[in-house]
Structure 1
């Protein structure tokens, strides 16, 4: 038989939300950093040709 669960407290809800937002923030920061290094040519993990002929 289904039992109703207790309500999650507001503080837990806020903590979970900030953790979720921070994950997105760090992912964005890493992507931007990688794009910057590729653009400037300092990337050691990506090889791309800047000049197409």
Structure 2
């Protein structure tokens, strides 16, 4: 079986984890911002017409 030759240093591990967490925080901020803009009506969204309502008399 293949095994790593050397142990990964703590600084490299911590740097990778910090990058991963930073990306998650940024995505969460984008999601919150998008949700707020939708709720306030400021977003530039075009919703497709509801086709089910057109089919029924």
TM-score by length of 1: 0.75
Q: How many corresponding residue pairs?
A: 47
Greater C-alpha radius of gyration? 2
Higher helix proportion (structure 1 or 2): 2
What stretches of structure 2 of length at least 5 have no aligned partner? 48-57
What stretches of structure 1 of length at least 5 have no aligned partner? 49-53
Structure 1 runs, 4 residues or longer, greater than 6 Å off: none
TM-score by length of 2: 0.71
Q: Indicate the structure whose relative CO is greater, using CA pairs within 8 Å and at least 6 residues apart.
A: 1
How large is the Cα RMSD of the aligned pairs?
1.8
